Amino acid sequence: MKPSSNSLNLALYYSLLFFALAKKEFVYETNEEAQHYHTLQLNSFLPSSNCTPSAKGDKKAGYLEVVHIHGPCSKLSEDMVTPLTVEEIFTHDQSRVDSIRARLTTGSKTTLPAIPGSIIGSSNYIVTVGLGTPTKYLSLVFDTGSVLTWTQCQPCDGTCYTQLEPIFAPSASTTYSNISCRSTKCVGLASATSNKPGCSSNKCIYRINYGDKSFTTGLFGKDKLKLTSKDIVNDFYFGCGQNNQGTFNGAAGLLGLGRDNLSIVSQTATKYGKVFSYCLPSKSSATGYLTFGSSIVSKNVKYTPFSPQSQGSNFYGLDLLAIYVSGTKLAISPTVFTSAGMIIDSGTVITRLPPTAYSALRKAFRAGMKKYKLTKPFSILDTCYDVTNTSNVTIPKISMLWGGNVLVETPPSGIIYKNGNSQVCLAYASNMKDSELAVFGNFQQQTLQVVYDENAKKVGFAPGGCA
């Protein structure tokens, strides 16, 4: 019997409806994957041979350009200083973390370090500042885990390592002066450097020892510091190092951003209100920025308060409450995070978590990576995958919930580390014990605008700070 036109129309209607529903379900599944996963091109991890300056940041407001010390935006050449291998970077990184943890008060599981980090680590981000009159420009590593700003100075009474620019000569600056041994600033070196100041001919002497046997010692002085042509700090106190040795990667010294009266944050408090922010680029061929003041802070920034545990510390302590993978909160007791505390550190590369928390993170991440073949660990990274002949990789999203219920999604570039052309690894690492201090490292901070407000005792995060 021949079907009627009505029945044909009805059949067509239901077939179209079924197709629409099926299509809707397909789109829904795609959106679900897009919501909880990142699909990344592996070649996007590769730096360019050309420098790509960031378009973000107000270059008129206390702005310093941040560059990778060995990238094409840096003036350093490989002839001057040999870049560290990845294995060496991770070895230095672990040494820095171990050194910071060693500063914990004996017998206390909840007291954060009360003195600055004692190893330069493998921090590869530098800024250029001007010092003295006439102005001499110097490339300095910036570090939230250190307090005293210092640079190498002539004459090198001991040894001076190779650096990019000519070594600063205080005798050639008309605005330089030494600090006397009786000055309250000299006395303040004890908390800024964890060493008692010395004295020679009534000239204050500073010394900083780093955990990898690097060190700097010399005269404690003051001079004019120029951040930009309009941002000048008169009578800036710093270390004028005349005997310096260690793994400083060709930089002229260090810019200390830690919590102390002698840090640049405190010394510029009148002008900038103890507020600074930075964005670290995801590639060595891109640039980021370090800025002072609140004028360019993103409207999208979300703040988490300093941890009460960090009171009296030179570090910036944060309270981690929970971790999410693919939108699901991991079953981790909050006491796992509070037992030892956590700091945010610009000089540590890979985030370190308590082993209980890391195990939960690793398990959830591996569950979302079943389509890829697990391969051998790489250095401190134990969850690695074979991506030979793979152009794209789909990875679970990871977010961290901070104090004040501030949820911050880890940028895609901060979730996996690409080792060569055949391997990617989960870019988090585990401490040995839950009682060891956790560290939020710079790899996971990449492309975020990270804002420090010391007066308000809070740290903020905003996405899309730089490329």
Q: Which residues are catalytically annotated?
A: 143, 345
Joined together, the tokens standing for residue 61 give 């407001």
Question: Cα(263)–Cα(236) distance, rounded to whole angstroms?
Answer: 10
Cα(first)–Cα(last) distance of the chain, in Å? 68
* Helix, coil or strand: residue 326: coil
Closest C-alpha to 108, from 439, 344, 435, 440:
435
Q: Residue 170: what are its φ and ψ, rounded to 5°?
A: -60, -30
Closest C-alpha to 304, from 288, 322, 290, 289:
322
Using CA atoms, how far residue 459 sits from 32, 74, 343, 428, in Å, is 31, 28, 11, 21
* Helix, coil or strand: residue 308: helix
Are the C-beta atoms of 249 and 142 separated by less than 8 Å?
Answer: no
Joined together, the tokens standing for residue 417 give 């580390």
* Helix, coil or strand: residue 140: strand
Using CA atoms, how far residue 420 sits from 125, 221, 387, 425, in Å, is 22, 45, 10, 11
Beta-carbon neighbour count of residue 2 at 10 Å? 6
Q: Chain-centre distance of CA 119, in angstroms?
A: 15
- Name the DSSP letter for residue 358: H
Using CA atoms, how far residue 29 sits from 23, 26, 102, 135, 399, in Å, is 10, 5, 48, 60, 21
Question: Cα(19)–Cα(243) distance, rounded to whole angstroms?
Answer: 76
For CA atoms 333, 336, 341, 342, give the dihedral sign: negative
| DSSP letters spanning 92-121 | HHHHHHHHHHTTSPTT-SSPPPSS--S--T
Joined together, the tokens standing for residue 137 give 């420009």
- Name the DSSP letter for residue 88: H
Joined together, the tokens standing for residue 439 give 């560290």
Using CA atoms, how far residue 115 sits from 104, 105, 220, in Å, is 9, 11, 19
Are the C-beta atoms of 340 and 354 separated by less than 8 Å?
Answer: yes
